[in-house]
Structure 1
């Protein structure tokens, strides 16, 4: 293989192939099925739209932080509360992603989603009512941080259970539209949550006034109970996705050695890109309100800060929406690579021009450039990294595969939220240089993401899930692994002996 061959886009990963060994793929047109338009789309909506809570509950905490900083200057500023309240939710999300990644593969997509919905509802309510013993401010802040961690477990469940179920459900939609439907009810739902999380604080503060900020931040968090509550009935009525029913390994042991051998490199690439995306996306989203507050100055009314923050967050929507069509037109790999490259260019421009933009009279220009930076991130990795993670593995291990990639992303979000204020503070009194640092770092990482997407990711088509499941079964058969117990209908198939199972799992049946 020549250097030219190695650097061919996608050359470091094998392309998806059809496998005759696994049997033919069902190519019956969706138009002739007995399901109605709504019956085919309801599972997509129910599975994916819970991620709105991720966007809202993570986005609103930036505004809550701004209020808490004003209310409790000494207790908040001179404690770990600021970083804990913002960052511990991501620790909880990693825990939730891993737990629900396992349960969604081994037990049920439906009931894993439903359990995460309950956790979201309970701890969103408790966070809004956070209270310290005897009215202690430090106790209240500690309680809020603890509830945010537990809330994160519920949010984490939405990824390997909800998003994976959403991706599998799109297989029943018309070819050529599947990527956009997945994106609309996953990433676009998250982004809508971010926009509402910016808009609600402005309305709440206008209603309560700056003299009642203690009530304002609790109302902001309390509104977070509405999204999960609205999904209870739809999720209770869900059925398991057809791809899961046919291909799950819930009734047999998982041949981990064979799976790791097949998917390790692909998973490493997807996880790295997701880490980089969440590192910048959540940090810049969370700290957009404080950034605007710094530009406007301490004397600006709170509603004005939140109003300009809403303008910034609105840029998420066009990027995600346009990107959903781009993903169907040119494929997720190219859409991700082109989008993140453009984001890097705008990020470098933002860093270079920050001194001229970050003054009160140029607040409009500041918000537009900041917003375009976020928008391009959504068009590229925001729309496509979850889509790629949900389609680059077989259904039997998709929940756990997706969980690992999403967990890397949330670790990136945690590190980004934790490092952002440190990078700003590292410049000392030079606030301009301090706010340039995050853009330099994030834009440089975007270049790395673009390289990985161009050269290390496979092409993904509309029928990739079907073809990958077929190829995976063929791969198992080639290595002597018994696939007869795969699927929910596999209970009647002969069960291999424990000795044979051990040999399969050790990858020795060649």
Structure 2
């Protein structure tokens, strides 16, 4: 469960990030059709779909089971990817609309992975004490390293395909279609294993499959961690997604004489800076706690971002220096919220509503990503010929939000008990004290298997 959750989230990172580099290729093929408005819709379609998937599959994961959710999300994601790779239309505008809709559908499947994989993985790490004590590092590998590798491959795959066709513009159409189609390989490769997976002890003992969840009581009890997780995750993705998606665009502005391949190569290198942050953040979260790690990463990212924005003039004259500092800026984002936010969201809530809460918080995060993408791109474009001011504004705005994230993490978030059974028992006692003393907890399954509901039950 732990390994395949990581592969699933890594696949989502690839499918979400790849569009940033493919748009550079599409600008060459479709210079008139790919307007700023179409480009924004294309960038946001996947994220909007993810928001829908996160909200809906949070419910599915808690009510129908982690396994049912995993199978459905994988199926929807693969179908959406297939439609995206084969997008066509009578006109180029028609093709882009099909691509936008298909990317949105793929996003629904990808978004559903967060509550399904997040809830399932944290419960899997709770099975043994030795694993639980290293949960921060394990989750950093599952949720952060895998997503970071997805971002790296999202930049690397289009670059390698460009080199394979020897940068012939007449074959660029093949590049973006093949690049999108390759995103189906990871979810397809784990489908059988997810179909055969067992459900966790925590879900078998503490789910509320047979009872309606009292959402008002849940909100009264868990409002503070919910606000803290939602706002921190929103700010993290508000910064991380635009800077990751537009890394090649920003490098191109700093060094406009580069070819498309060189620009994408620099963008790929920048995305590699996400990777060390997962190891550092995972190590720290088990030593100093999730909250302190998140606040530290946010704060250091803000400091470096203000330096980059304020001293951009002399820094951009030395491209290697700019690349390194920009990369460290991204690394610090992973050290803090990147390596801790999914785990924090999963640990702070009981098993019965874990999928709901992780999905809700994750939806807020993608709203931040969508808004950040929508805001940052016009900022870059609004300065017109003055590319220096546009890049500077992006860094200063992003750093301001990182500072806000540090304050929220420090003053609003709380470090939860890492043993899930205690949190589940606290939730049960709370409901019993508020008139829910006859809840039949768990699934009634004791052999470790989980069955997919029949068609009538699913409806």
TM-score, length basis structure 2: 0.93
Contact persistence 1:484–1:490 (CA under 8 A): no
Q: Tell me what 1:406 maps to.
A: 362
* 1:393 correspondence with 2:393: no
Contact 2:347 2:417 in 1 (8 A): no
Aligned residues: 442
| Alpha-carbon distance between aligned partners in 2 of 1:203 and 1:483, rounded to the nearest angstrom | 59
Cα deviation, 1:105-135, whole Å, max 9, x if unaligned, reads: 11111110111111111211221121112xx
Query: Which aligned runs of 4 or more in structure 1 are off by greater than 4 angstroms?
Result: none
C-alpha displacement of 1:490? 9.2
Confirm or deny that 1:485 pairs with 2:440. yes
Counterpart-to-counterpart distance in 1, 2:433 and 2:190: 43
1:236 to 155, 176, 195: 195
Q: Secondary structure at the match of 2:54?
A: helix
1:132 aligns with 2:89: yes
Match of 2:454 in 1: none
Q: Which residue of 2 aligns with 1:346?
A: 304
Aligned to 1:160: 115
CA distance in 2, matches of 1:72, 1:47: 37
SS of 2:384's equivalent in the other structure is coil
> What's 1:259 paired with?
218
Question: Aligned partners of 2:192, 2:46: CA distance in 1, in Å?
Answer: 26
2:255 to 296, 300, 306: 296
In structure 2, the partner of 1:209 is: 166
Which residue is equivalent to 2:10?
Answer: 52
Alignment-derived partner of residue 469 in structure 1: 424
Correspondences of 1:396-435 after superposition (within 5 Å): 396-435=352-391
Residue 449 of structure 2 aligns with which residue? none
In structure 1, C-alpha distance between the alignment counterparts of 2:339 and 2:286, rounded to whole Å = 11
Query: Does structure 2 retain, via aligned residues, the 8 Å contact 1:96–1:157?
Result: yes
Change (3 A) 1:349 1:193: same
Say which one has the larger Rg: 1
Distance apart, 1:483 and its partner CA: 4.8
Aligned residue number for residue 308 of structure 1:
266
The answer (yes or no) to whether the contact 1:278–1:410 under 8 Å persists in 2 is: yes
Q: Which runs of 5+ in 1 are unaligned?
A: 1-42, 492-510
The question of 1:150 aligning with 2:105 is answered yes
More off after superposition, 109-118 vs 424-433: 424-433
Report what 1:19 is aligned to: none
2:49 to 92, 95, 113: 92
Q: CA deviation at 1:167?
A: 1.1
Which of 274, 289, 294 matches 1:336? 294
| Residue of structure 1 aligned with 2:402, choices 446, 449, 464 | 446
Of 188, 193, 197 in structure 1, the residue corresponding to residue 145 of structure 2 is: 188
2:323 equivalent to 1:364: no
Aligned equivalents of 1:47 and 1:281: distance in 2? 21
User: Which residue of 69, 74, 87 maps to 2:27?
Assistant: 69
Deviation string, structure 1 residues 258-299 (Cα, Å, up to 9, x no partner): 1111012221121011110011111111001111222232x5
Extract unaligned runs of 5+ from structure 2. Answer: 447-459
Query: Structure 2 vs 1, CA of residues 243 and 48 (structure 1 numbering), >3 Å: closer, same or farther?
Result: farther
Matches for 1:91-130 after TM superposition, within 5 Å: 91-130=48-87
Which range moved further: 138-147 or 153-162?
138-147
TM-score with structure 1 setting the length: 0.84
Paired with 1:48 and 1:489, the residues of 2 have a C-alpha distance of 28
Q: 8 Å contact 1:202–1:304 — kept in the other structure?
A: no
